[in-house]
Structure 1
Amino acid sequence: MTDSERNGMGALLLGIDAGCLSVFDRLSAEGVIPNLRSLLEAGATAPLESQIPPWTPSAWPSMFTGVNPGKHGVYGFTGFDGYDFHVVRGDDVRAHRLWTLLDHHDRSSVVVNVPVTHPPDEIDGAIVPGFIGPEDPPCHPEGVLEDVREAIGPYRVYPRYARGDDSLSDAEKIDEYRTLVGMRGDAFRYLADRFEPDFGFLQFQKTDTVFHEFDGEWERVKRVYAAVDEQIGAVLEACDPRQVFVASDHGMGRYEKPEFRVNAFLEDAGYLETTLGGKGMPTWNLMRGDLRDGERAAEWEPSPAERIAAALAGVGLTTHRMGTALERLGLAEFAKAHAPDGVVRTGNEQVDFPNSTAYVRARTELGVRLNVDGRDPAGTIPRDEYEDVRAQLIRELESVTAPDGEPVFQTVAPREEFFEGPYTDRAVDIVTIPTDFQHFLSAQPSEEYFVETTEPWNHKLEGVFVASGDGIDESRPLADAHLFDVAPTILAALDVPYSDRMDGRVLPIVDAAEPASMSYPEYAASERTTVDSVVENRLEDLGYVE
């Protein structure tokens, strides 16, 4: 392909977090998404199978690298270092991105709001990171975020309120969602006009969050999607890409069955110990001081108030019990508003990770970790007993039934059945997939196995993929399209060889002249270390930690 043939944007990828045909069809029938509907009708459209686990911080990297988490290394919102943890960042993703492979072939990119891209790669083009990065993320090239704000006005990564904040009405919160959506489109159009990229990638996150925060309330979903569709129309008109792709990291749907608290089951089965007076369950907001200073600390130490709460919990006076008493006195809301998050965590029952045999560390990992001697700091399972213990626990988990008598899990399996690569050791030891994704899994210690689900709308495996434009054969079948196929397909459509490390394939809709794969050098992240303190509360605000 000559330089003259490459003038203008070759391919545009529109990322719709939690996008799926079941939602699109309903929105389309109500006339909410005319621009998306045109793409769906004109292009090759099919369900897109997500990965395990189908959650944002792991699934988007799998999409833009074309490899499974065992090869890129990210399985959830936090990475675990023994019993300590850190918040994942872009440099935890140890595989080439679409835009770094394009950069190898002198193709430029503009990437806006894509999760887990902080800190950004240094490429020909521009990157403005999205979710899990800080509120004012370092961008590439340096200073470009200030240029964006000068050109379009305010630009924020996150809403101007925290989840649970009652200072804004629900209508005002949705207005804020729509404002954020508008910022994404405005920023992308400005950067596309300035850099004239060969490839553009614009992601919308609020299409997912609106379901989590507002329990799928349809009128609010419609307002958010209407704003997204408006921006899609404006971007298509301004950029006029030769090829357009739409893809989601997972789907969205109702969880009709009760939440299952896996650690409660593990405790009764003799695998898990709990403690009163520890540091609390994992969450990134506890490390706010270190994050504010730009450090990636391995440990969090309680404050004096949090130590007092832990000591009181140790003699049976938990924050849960104190909260019950305060509620009777009408002081619960006041206490909740003024008590540090760490006080709540240190003052309640927690998993005693060092003294347990098996436990769930984070619910979005969809799995159980074992505490292995020689691998984990205080491992309780001898290495030569690892396989036997794991096999026994798999059998026990397979036998768990819900109150309706049906199995809780459709799959309980060793991690090797789902992950392959140099970072498989970062994964859970046992993968647990709830039946039809109808049971929400919780890591919270509890006396009950089953409770009313805390999030009635949550992630499903079936997302969406759409492709249209020059060189796209819409008549070809798209059966069994997978998340891993997105990156190699887009690269092939741009006449760029995809990596031989990729797990995905080139989907048959691309012209048969697509290039073969090639070996690229190992991915090396740019050397950037800046971290902003605003990161500290985002996971909890969005309900991803307990």
Structure 2
Amino acid sequence: MGRKLLIIGLDGASFVALDPLMQCGAMPTLARLRADGFSATLLSTLPPVSAPAWSTFITGKNPGKHGVFQFYDVNPWSPTSLGRGQRTYLAVPGVVVNARSITEPKLWDLIGAAGLRIAAINLPMSYPPEPINGLMVTGMLTPPGSRHFTYPPELADELHDYEIDLNPEEKDFSSPDRQFLRRMCDILDKRARTALKLFQREPWDCFMVIFTETDRLQHRYWHFLDPGRDRQRMTELQSSITDIYCQLDGHLAEFVRLAGDGYDIIVLSDHGFGPAAHKRLSFSALARWLELEVQPGGFKSRALTALRKLAPGKQRIYKYLGPLVPEGFLKRAEERLRVMARRGVKAKLVKLHDYIGGVWINTKDHENGIVGLGAEYQSFRTEIIQKLAALRDPETKERVVSEIMVREGLYRGLHASDAPDIIFILDEEYGIETDAHSQNLLCRMPQKNQGTHRAEGIFIMSGKAVRPGIQVSSNGLTVTPPKLEDVTATILYLMGVPLLDDMDGRVIEEAVSEKYLREHPITFQSVARLSTGESSSLWSTPEEEEQIRERLKELGYLE
């Protein structure tokens, strides 16, 4: 018989911010869970973004298997990315992903198939809701105002005042500080009260709830949470931010009280946080420096220029010219222009995250590709890698790019080819700027958000099956730091559910008591992959996707 689990997610939580809060007494419940159990820095996905990270948590597999690399399709050659007005050197976001994009069995599928009851509340990658052996309340990819956010559907009728996230239509993200913090308190309170009520509905085998308020606060107010600041001189605003973490800890205390000894408790985050860089690397200048574009001559050049000029107003053109030309003419013309645009670029740059970029090579297996496969591809890729490695800041003479990786070294699985050929990480001093008018490689620009994601999240586990009193710091590690996919494997193991034999995660054995490990051997099973929806059917309407696109823009995931 496995253990019952209470799983609490704190989106974007980092020990960098939480340690001072625990030490000053603002979060005593979290501090006690950490002291009594096992804790470690938890490594996120690359990029450390909620969509691929929570998808990895849901499946226990890397993005190359589950198919989600960002909140949108990052492949510039896919049908969902073409025709969205991209500049030739820049791969723009394709269709926004959701739960239908995940092509592997999900945690609730495996738990439910074992006859166990599960509740999942506010998982970012859970919309649209699907039948599970329990209940589901979907997360941030739910269109604002939608009543289709629960399973069973009638559960929505009980959640009259529940709010999933800030609403861009109500200008929540850009509201003044006091108003923003009041909204954060209100949404947090509604989520906690709803989750606590549902937790008491039945003796769940697994109950999970994700609090995204930590992420929203840290994007906007990281400079108030940075441990380098003088906490003896806390402003009123800084005190209000701390109060929200106190409020969160109070809700956590109520969960712990209700769980009693009957549950083991896991607290985790999908990624960590750190300061946003104000020195930016211009992608337009980088594309010129890397010599990615091959300029076509004559009519092709004029067509390429026309595509760039027309793309931003495409919908207006369709509206006014559509009735005047033969059916399908405009779409055929647009496709022709896109084909010509692809002829003019050897590679595209993609912004995977604030400080993480990628290079897509336009190989000849794409329509009108330029770079040959085999030796020519390897030579061109090596050339790009060498140029990126040689990039220096003219002021400091330091390297701008801290790490460069190739696709096959990072991702494994059916969807690995949907990742860029090259992935590079900038030094923490730098971020990425996609403004087409930037002329210099490096520039200083004010940033909308003060904080940005880092790979180092948190993992805390406490309970009867847990090895107590162990804290693994991110410095001087004596064991391999756990990864997000390892948490998935550990959840299944503790619940007595066999792991999938192709799962990338491992059981975090260093967190589990020796007695439990001896008495409960790790077992495995094989489960068929799931079919994923076509990109055109991921969203019920274009308006739904556009609503989520606006929310992602407000959060800084889209530009």
Same fold (TM over 0.5): yes
CA change 1:474–1:168 in 2 (3 A) is same
Partners of 1:363 and 1:443 within 8 A in 2 = no
Query: Structure 1 residues 438-447 or 176-185, which shifts more?
Result: 438-447
> Counterpart in 2 of 1:485?
486
Alignment partners' CA distance in 2, 1:238 and 1:188: 12
Partners of 2:147 and 2:156 within 8 A in 1 = no
Percent of pairs with identical residues = 23
Partners of 1:156 and 1:183 within 8 A in 2 = yes
Q: Does 1:60 align with 2:54?
A: yes
TM-score normalised to structure 2 length = 0.78
Query: Structure 1 residues 194-203 or 272-281, which shifts more?
Result: 272-281
Alignment partners' CA distance in 1, 2:270 and 2:373: 36
1:227-266 per-position Cα deviation (integer Å, ceiling 9, x unaligned): 3222222222334451000111111112456222234212
> Counterpart in 2 of 1:237?
257
Question: Offset at 1:59?
Answer: 0.9
Q: Does 1:408 align with 2:421?
A: no
1:442-485 per-position Cα deviation (integer Å, ceiling 9, x unaligned): 33332122223524421112111000102111256753111221
Query: Structure 1 residues 403-412 or 448-457, which shifts more?
Result: 448-457
Alignment partners' CA distance in 1, 2:170 and 2:555: 6
1:251 to 272, 288, 295: 272
Query: Structure 1 residues 43-52 or 238-247, which shifts more?
Result: 238-247
2:373 to 380, 383, 393: 383
Aligned pairs (5 A) from 1:275-354:
278=307, 301-304=314-317
Q: Does 1:449 align with 2:470?
A: no
Query: Structure 1 residues 107-116 or 438-447, which shifts more?
Result: 438-447
Alignment partners' CA distance in 1, 2:288 and 2:379: 19
CA RMSD in angstroms, aligned pairs only: 3.1
Question: Offset at 1:499?
Answer: 1.1
Alignment partners' CA distance in 1, 2:310 and 2:493: 44
Alignment partners' CA distance in 2, 1:223 and 1:280: 49
CA change 1:166–1:15 in 2 (3 A) is closer
Equivalent position amino acid for 2:523 in 1: A
Partners of 2:36 and 2:469 within 8 A in 1 = no
> Counterpart in 2 of 1:112?
121
Secondary structure of 1:13's counterpart equals strand
Question: Offset at 1:209?
Answer: 1.7
Equivalent position amino acid for 1:494 in 2: M
Q: Which runs of 5+ in 2 are unaligned?
A: 83-93, 226-237, 296-303, 322-340, 473-478
> Counterpart in 2 of 1:208?
215
CA change 1:514–1:524 in 2 (3 A) is farther
Q: Does 1:131 align with 2:120?
A: no
Secondary structure of 1:119's counterpart equals coil
Alignment partners' CA distance in 2, 1:47 and 1:23: 13
Q: Which runs of 5+ in 1 are unaligned?
A: 287-299, 309-351
Secondary structure of 2:123's counterpart equals coil
CA change 1:475–1:38 in 2 (3 A) is closer
How many residue pairs get aligned? The number is 478
Partners of 1:363 and 1:442 within 8 A in 2 = no
Aligned pairs (5 A) from 1:496-511:
496-508=497-509, 509-510=511-512, 511=516
> Counterpart in 1 of 2:246?
226
Question: Offset at 1:213?
Answer: 2.8
> Counterpart in 2 of 1:171?
178
Alignment partners' CA distance in 2, 1:423 and 1:41: 40
Question: Offset at 1:417?
Answer: 0.8
Aligned pairs (5 A) from 1:58-207:
58-79=52-73, 80=75, 81-82=78-79, 83-84=81-82, 85-135=94-144, 136=146, 138-149=148-159, 153-161=160-168, 168-207=175-214
> Counterpart in 2 of 1:316?
none
Partners of 1:163 and 1:542 within 8 A in 2 = no
CA change 1:356–1:36 in 2 (3 A) is same
Alignment partners' CA distance in 1, 2:120 and 2:397: 47
Partners of 1:372 and 1:386 within 8 A in 2 = no
> Counterpart in 2 of 1:32?
26
Question: Offset at 1:126?
Answer: 0.9
1:432 to 424, 431, 450: 424
Secondary structure of 2:384's counterpart equals helix
